[in-house]
Amino acid sequence: MNINPLKRRNHEAEEHALFMSLLESPTRPAFIGMARYCESMGYAGEAGDFYLGIVPDTFKQKYAIEEAQLIRPGQAVARERLVEYMPETYKLAAPLNQDKNRNKVFELTSITSKHTFFDSFRDADYETDGSETLLLDKQGNPVHCYSSRNRCLLRTNPGYQNTQVHKLAGVTVSLVTRNGHNFYHWMMDVLCKLDLLEAAGIRIEEVDHFIVSGLNYAFQKKTLEMMGIAKSQLIDLQYSLHRFHCENILMPHIPNTMGRTMSIRVTGFLRRKLLPLSSRTSPVGKKIAIHREKRGVKNRDEVKAVLLKHGFDVVQSENHSFEDQISIFANASHVVSPHGAGLANLVFCKPGTKVFEFYGEQIQPPFWIIAELQRLKYWNINCGSMLEHGEADNNKDLEKRLNAEMHVDVDYLENWIVQNCD
């Protein structure tokens, strides 16, 4: 098929402008812009990658973005393995109720944790903007598992050449995790890395520097304090490009995959370290209903009336200190909540606690999986309007799905309460 040369040049100019904009500022809107351009051109595979926040290899090649071949951690120079755990499989029971519209992610019958390890690298270089990471061993080889798929975005950053390399003496630990500002990811992907430090026999006070992505929330600062980390030990990137040369950097590798590869060691570590530091008494009753402003419930007044009628306390987690949040969940007998990051606090619930989660257009299974690992009793219901009850295969329209309101069947909810609470 012949394409008008002028039209082709216009397409190429549009693509070039969009892609250069993404390389200079790799924001979510920039990835969406490239994804939609690729869709319009019929590049389905590339569009899917961009929707997922991944720079496709075809574009790296087209725009001559060079990347050195990754090496396995075991091939790295001046590297020592400190801790290693092999995969473990855990059986999952289905939610306790029937729902013909249940999302297919809840058809899992088991999960298997991934190979987990903790490595020390001497005289290594570490580059990160709080999302993307690049670890170079003593000979400058990029190391797999510790270098992200989009590591090229660090070197294409306009300020890269002018970014000073900071030398870090002593022992450094990286706690950098994509989306670490989110409560769930902070708990399950960031804090759990300290478990490997403990397993290696390294005390918190023996570490000179902890690198973190961005400390902007009270729960982040409080949990680090509860773990014994002093402010003087923290290097807060605030999601800006940093380059380090480290005398000795310790790198934890604990894949979580939104709960699908979670290990019971993670939930056990959080309980062991944080439960003893909270109050034994809860500021609310044992039957709690979590209120969320975002991803809210369209008929919230009806839902609230039913919950209050049956003696539930409506709780907005962010209005409570982190210690109180632990106590609220640790003392709860029943938890009713829309899907959301705050349900990571289910790790603090007692075995047998009854949990009812309702969800809408966007769903991941980690809270069901936490409930299974902690031996909680778990029910859920789909309150969205989607026609396909499977998991979205990319992040297209993610914001729209995340912010879509849910309509809860109050009769169904009240029947559940009558059967399980009263």
pLDDT tens per residue across span 25-46 = 999 999 999 999 999 999 999 9
pLDDT of 338 > 50? The answer is: yes
Mean pLDDT of 11-38: 94
- Name residues whose C-beta falls within 8 Å of residue 388's C-beta, 6 or more positions apart in sequence: none
Tell me the percentage of the chain whose pLDDT exceeds 90: 84
pTM score over 0.85 = yes
Q: Which amino acid belongs to residue 7? A: K
The first and second tokens of residue 131, run together, are: 């999302």
Instruction: Give yes or no for a contact between 215 and 221, defined as CB atoms under 8 angstroms apart.
Output: yes
- pLDDT-wise least confident of 18-27, 175-184, 397-406: 397-406
Domain ranges of the chain: 5-62, 73-89+113-266, 278-420
pLDDT of 386 > 60? The answer is: no
Residue among 223, 173, 179 at smallest CA distance from 202: 173
Q: What is the CATH number assigned to the segment(s) 278-420? A: 3.40.50.360
- pLDDT value at position 422? 65
